[in-house]
Structure 1
């Protein structure tokens, strides 16, 4: 193996281990970047200034507004009770059955509607605890159910306002509905596969004696943790759904930018649900402040990882790796899938990995001759595969919220968000080869 490529592999493993130990990305990315620079015999300070920071700054410049409006929209839905209203309505349709897939659906509806994924964790977790407790299901499946709703079909479906879809649109000048027919088929297949897995695992755990109260779990929930009382005076579910529908129509039918679409949804949500926040204008200012603060943390953590990728793409080892992959003479969409997945895995971030891959390889992707719409969709799906390796910051955050360890809950996360999305990539490639 090329020594430089081996150094990159060590860097990714180092990235994973330090993230697993909950080292902040703001510390982790520069440290691992310096390791790569030393191994590549590149000037440290000069490279940090001319490669690392420009890549991070460009990501913030391109996507800050999207993170900003998404986080504010999420805060509005959290504090008005709109998210809980939608969750209760969906729950009532299933009458206590299919709880794990149901949590995935609730999360997916919110994220597909524009609510920031990081905000959704905090909104959905109390709902999940209540539903799992009522059904006496093991807590081990809660992280997989929530994150599958955030990072799979709702992130990659045609028309999604997700940052991954927008990155592909920006890089390839393709529409949000790119490759609509095969994308829709793959979205439905992925949704079905994840739902079946979560339900099968729920029944399997119950059959083998794993219930909600489980002394084998490292952290036991306290009475305070279980006091997830449902709030009163929730918005009508129609009012809760209207801003989400409004965003999707503006983004996909009217073709407004995603930032404008989500901002319009925020305005409509405030108008429809103003009275559901106690404290009037001052309380609403607090909600906006909370959303704004969340957006800053989210994009900075992602951008700093993109900075790491900005250095990686300029190393000789990365160029050698790309040449090796190109030399394998694989189908063009397989090449896109592998390179995007590897970049996402290295960054521990789907959007960060896509940012790195498209910055470094867009011209290569275009030269492969595949339809740009196919490249758009396969890249979006592939970004949601290896980004879910154990060092992903979002998964670590979610496990902490759920008070579970990787050992207790990561297997189902890996199946629903690495294995099944790779199967989805395979289905898409077959459909594309058929000309759909």
Structure 2
């Protein structure tokens, strides 16, 4: 069969094109151009049966093959190239391109997808672990989910004497923790137990910018206290602005007040300190002098930690204590009482009294015990660490007169300008 190119259709071959008989293939090999019929126009071959969908159609005899779009993943065939599935088909110009090979589409790299899936799983697991850790607590304040819980947890930590826990409710740690130990805190609550902790209100107006105000009340010993404490969000968690109170001592160290230079806090001298940090509550203020007591004129309660600064000035008040009063009284009794053991007009020290009546014979005088009921011990002079003493001391006195006989009378000694120095370990009485 030499008159028709590619006559007969055998269906798709394993390579994806239409099959043909061996005779046709041989003819296509030995005949490159068809013979023309003289005087007649070229004949149009009858239509071939349509190949299955997706297969290229057979071109007419002597006509160049039309460019065809290749299958999935295959570029279009070049002009003059046999369509896909028709290898070696006649009709292509001599020296034309052969059939295009079938190109297998590249497989997608699944490694990035696997890595992304692993990352998502780790993030989800990490979030779950963090949630569990945050919800059940990590041993500090991180489990607090609201501003009110932070304030209440802080006061409960103070009431339990747990200094480290109390400090964990704020990220702003103090410069010194000398007076912020659990030992010191337990001394505070032993004097003023913290009880009746109540959250009165929580203002969430500024919560969108990480701020909240919590109105809280509590008792420190027998003292009721309430304040509105500012709370802020730090790192997604509610925190107190400060967990300790900064006491400014700069005015004490620069003062000429002698009493302030002797002051102690929980038994430790602070004369060289510019500031100390303490928890709100009882403060054990004292003096290096055993005869002086120190109190803070304004106690440090909840209002000391309500602001964003949490600083305060120590306002100490010094006074002669009971020990000082008793010691001075004893020294005065001894001094004035020593006169009674003398028979002289001018008894030796420490007697501060003398008789100026020249009508009495010296050495014959009898002194009664002194009446000290009118003597008054004054307030402490903080700048001098002295106590002023005033009043009157009375004696019944008798003695031999120069003109004979016995003279009797009452001697009154006025106490003026007398002071007691209480700056040291021993009280020193200074008589005028």
Report the TM range for the smaller structure's normalisation: under 0.3
TM-score w.r.t. the length of structure 2 is 0.21
TM-score w.r.t. the length of structure 1 is 0.21
Highest relative contact order (Cα 8 Å, sep 6+), 1 or 2?
A: 1
Which structure features the higher share of strand residues?
2
